[in-house]
């Protein structure tokens, strides 16, 4: 009995001490996105993107592009460097930022396509005024896998692009998946910018790679960009080439909204998150949209861009790429390649992922 009483006294004493102790801080400290040392001052990271700011980018100042390459040719590293150059992510974040799956981090191979929106100020010479003109551009990078087993992922990503960076290792040269991805992009009528990467390697032979590109793809050697994503050499010419060589996305800003469903995944708290490319019109939070494939109607609960994480904006305009949350309960409702459109309107489905495209993505060698 004496032992039990002593235990009760000890318990009461501990409870009083705990009650009188200062409450632990419940504040959540978010990591601050710092400016990369390589980014210029006008490319500072921003805490958020408003609808009015997003509306300042008409299709003429939007570029949607992808990066395609053979496995281990430096595609993911190049994507990271572009995100750093525009101040979208912090320099020195570690492994490839857009490779988020565990298997991608362990194997170093991109499996799932990812999207990231960047803001970039491009300066060009104006011969009339003998000065320079600067304009801000919205760049949507749609990252793609490089492994042959994920050609379907590549093909559906290219459906939302108007151009692609074809990355080739300066030491290894053109390889099997380089050829397969080139023809996927070529048959999609994309503007292709060749990028010869890893020129810092001792065994690099960019002249031989240029000859391969000319012989296999009839690409002018002078169009190739020489870069090293590891050291940063030559990266300053990549984004200007994207703006100057890749056309702006087509579309009608005044038409009812029509968008291509690129990808989807399930989030435990938000439900099904769909990645979409707006082809016509504008999609706003609260709108009613329908699926051309299933006929179901949904309400837009949230909409925004990937910058590079989910960044709500309340609206997406013509030519822009982002995400939408509609309350879908399963990814089975989000059919890749489906056309989502304004409810109670009749639209022509987009040809982004037709049957022929599917066949090519599986059987091209």
CATH number (domain holding residue 320): 2.40.30.10
In a domain, 11, yes or no: no
Same domain, yes or no, for 211 and 232?
Answer: yes
In a domain, 15, yes or no: no
Does residue 172 register a pLDDT over 80? yes
Same domain, yes or no, for 89 and 137?
Answer: yes
What is the arithmetic mean of pLDDT over 206-235? 95
What pLDDT sits at residue 13? 61
In a domain, 116, yes or no: yes
Same domain, yes or no, for 212 and 82?
Answer: yes
Rounded Cα distance between 104 and 327, Å, is 28
What pLDDT sits at residue 94? 52
Q: What three-state secondary structure class fits 8?
A: helix
How do residues 253-305 score in pLDDT, each as one tens digit? 999 999 999 888 888 888 999 999 999 999 999 999 999 989 999 999 999 99
In a domain, 310, yes or no: yes
| Distances from the Cα of 311 to the Cα of 45, 49, 159, 176, angstroms | 13, 7, 23, 37
154 token code pair: 């590549």
Same domain, yes or no, for 164 and 206?
Answer: yes
Weakest-pLDDT range from 114-118, 193-197, 202-206 = 114-118
Question: Is the CB of residue 57 less than 8 Å from the CB of residue 321?
Answer: no
What are the start-end ranges of the H helices in the chain? 2-20, 51-54, 75-85, 102-107, 151-158, 176-187, 206-217, 238-245, 355-363
Same domain, yes or no, for 336 and 216?
Answer: no
Same domain, yes or no, for 181 and 73?
Answer: yes
Same domain, yes or no, for 263 and 240?
Answer: no
How do residues 88-102 score in pLDDT, each as one tens digit? 887 765 555 554 444
What pLDDT sits at residue 30? 33
Instruction: Report how many domains make up the chain.
Output: 2
Its domain, for residue 338, covers 258-342
CATH number at residue 163: 3.40.50.300
Tell which of 213, 245, 277 closes a domain: 245
What is the arithmetic mean of pLDDT over 111-117? 69
How would DSSP label each residue in 34-84? PPPTTS-GGG---S---HHHHTT--GGGEEEEEEEE-TTSSHHHHHHHHHH
In a domain, 9, yes or no: no
In a domain, 39, yes or no: no
Same domain, yes or no, for 104 and 207?
Answer: yes
In a domain, 32, yes or no: no
**% of the chain beyond a pLDDT of 90:** 46
Rounded Cα distance between 72 and 338, Å, is 31
**% of the chain beyond a pLDDT of 70:** 72
What pLDDT sits at residue 159? 84
In a domain, 236, yes or no: yes
Rounded Cα distance between 120 and 241, Å, is 12
More confident residue, 154 or 81: 81
Same domain, yes or no, for 322 and 240?
Answer: no
Same domain, yes or no, for 181 and 268?
Answer: no
What pLDDT sits at residue 74? 84
What pLDDT sits at residue 163? 95
Same domain, yes or no, for 238 and 265?
Answer: no
Mean pLDDT of the chain: 79
Same domain, yes or no, for 205 and 303?
Answer: no
pTM: 0.77
Kindly indicate the confidence band of residue 362, based on its pLDDT and cuts at 50, 70 and 90: very low
Does residue 4 register a pLDDT over 60? no
């Amino acid at each position: 009995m004496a032992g039990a009483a002593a235990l009760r006294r000890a318990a009461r004493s501990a409870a009083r001490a705990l009650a009188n102790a200062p409450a632990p801080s419940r504040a959540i400290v978010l990591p601050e996105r710092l400016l990369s040392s390589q980014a210029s001052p006008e490319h500072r990271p921003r805490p958020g993107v408003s609808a009015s700011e997003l509306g300042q980018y008409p299709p003429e100042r939007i570029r949607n592009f992808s990066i395609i390459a053979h496995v281990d040719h430096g595609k993911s590293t190049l994507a990271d460097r572009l995100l750093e150059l525009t101040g979208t992510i912090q320099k020195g974040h570690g492994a490839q930022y857009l490779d988020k799956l565990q298997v991608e981090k362990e194997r170093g191979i991109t499996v799932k396509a990812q999207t990231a929106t960047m803001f970039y100020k491009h300066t060009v010479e104006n011969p009339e005024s003998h000065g320079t003109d600067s304009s801000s551009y919205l760049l949507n990078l749609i990252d793609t896998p490089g492994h042959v087993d994920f050609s379907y992922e590549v093909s559906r990503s290219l459906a939302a692009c108007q151009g692609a960076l074809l990355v080739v290792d300066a030491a290894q040269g053109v390889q099997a998946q380089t050829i397969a991805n080139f023809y996927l992009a070529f048959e999609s009528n994309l503007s292709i910018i060749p990028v010869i990467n890893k020129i810092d390697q001792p065994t690099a032979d960019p002249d031989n790679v240029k000859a391969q590109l000319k012989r296999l793809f009839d690409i002018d050697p002078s169009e190739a960009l020489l870069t090293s994503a590891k050291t940063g050499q030559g990266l300053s010419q990549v984004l200007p080439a994207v703006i100057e060589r890749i056309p702006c996305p087509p579309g009608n800003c005044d038409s009812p909204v029509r968008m291509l469903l690129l990808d989807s995944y399930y989030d435990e708290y938000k439900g099904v998150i769909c990645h979409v490319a707006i082809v016509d019109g504008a999609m706003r939070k609260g709108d009613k949209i329908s699926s051309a494939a299933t006929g179901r109607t949904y309400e837009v609960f949230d909409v925004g861009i990937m910058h590079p994480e989910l960044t709500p904006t309340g609206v997406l305009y013509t030519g822009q790429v982002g995400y939408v949350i509609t309350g879908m309960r399963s990814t089975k409702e989000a059919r890749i390649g489906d056309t989502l459109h304004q409810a109670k309107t009749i639209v022509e489905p987009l040809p982004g992922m037709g049957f022929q495209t599917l066949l090519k993505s599986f059987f091209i060698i």
